[in-house]
Structure 1
């Protein structure tokens, strides 16, 4: 049985250079998602969200392999991040950034054959076995980002500010691009196992020609799970 791995199937989206920004076209993708607000380092809701997303994602993987006959690698954790003032992401130095006002949607992408009905079935099964507060907040979301700029950031999450500063104030203006969606991060490293300086995070920003960009454009969401 071939094991599907989205990182290999969509290599251009999951293996960007760490040296320069790259333009990519991101297709419609279905996710398990949970919305929240506040500093991810201290918010209990954030920890509960990540725990629930992984629990359901692995349950879906095992169901797919056993019942549907299709195995796959669970995709990496991803996050959409935004704030009333987007300068909050580049202001300050490292850990000094004020994250209390950040909004977020944490997500794990799912293969196209994992339908909303299958998700609903597995959610019930997981809820019957585990007491996970985040389960009740899980929804199925479809996100179509289209034209985007991305780069690989190697290092601590708190050191992303200078990279985003270059993206927002150098690369995008130089290429006549404006914001067309939420700041998107894809976590290729596990902070529980890797030293902060070795973490690998894809930083992605949906864009559009400056005249037609919508700085407040939300993700194309959502298909609520039942």
Structure 2
């Protein structure tokens, strides 16, 4: 019998958000594939190299989970943490050349370091991507966050981020902490910019 396939986007509250609605959510510790880099994602070779690693690793782990554990799941969307020495780079300036980032893909908590090491070896056997040795398995604890759903181009996020950072968060008696987090629910290779759906998340205290 085929194992039941879990879609965590539908079962986890942290992957729910509505357009033009800011919501406070408590995000539990979550395990991810992670890879760090710097620079404009539209032109950075580091970013392109990271994409070449994340998807093969994610699918190797999915297949290993299904074959070894009988636990199948939908591969999760790409995510990213973004930050800069000057946070105005995200709102007013949008100077992407100054951005640091960590690309991420959520994997279930039952994925072990042993399974991760085996997946990396399998990807390497097929021709190792340039950044394969830099990908890691790590649990991120974000805790209390505010998030919303942005519909449209990534370059049009500035207005809603300004409302999030300077209106809703201080108005709720909260303060920003940690790193800006984006969850890319749409595949930018297949969806026109005006229809892209992205969860924007900001940890708070």
Residue 68 of structure 1 is matched in structure 2 by 69
- SS of equivalent residue, structure 2 residue 95: coil
Runs of at least 5 residues in structure 1 that lack an aligned partner in the other structure = 209-226
Separation in structure 2 between the aligned mates of residue 56 and residue 157 of structure 1, nearest angstrom = 25
User: Does 2:44 correspond to 1:43?
Assistant: yes
Q: CA RMSD in A?
A: 0.9
Query: Aligned equivalents of 1:168 and 1:31: distance in 2?
Result: 26
SS of residue matched to 1:67: helix
Question: In 2, Cα distance between the equivalents of 1:207 and 1:85?
Answer: 18
* 1:217 alignment partner in structure 2: none
Structure 2: gaps spanning 5 or more residues:
none
The equivalent residue for 1:142 is 139
Would you identify which runs of 4 or more consecutive aligned residues in structure 1 move more than 2 Å? Answer: none
Partner residue, 2:87: 86
Deviation at 1:151? 0.1
**Is 1:176 matched up with 2:165?**
no
**What TM-score results when the alignment is normalised by the length of structure 2?**
0.97
| Match of residue 189 from structure 1 | 186
Question: What number of residue pairs does the alignment pair up?
Answer: 203
TM-score by length of 1: 0.88
Q: Superposed, which structure 2 residues align to 1:147-226 within 5 Å?
A: 147-208=144-205
Deviations 1:24-53 (A, max 9, x none): 000000111000000000001101101201
Q: 1:140, CA displacement in angstroms?
A: 1.2
* Alpha-carbon distance, 1:5 to partner: 1.3
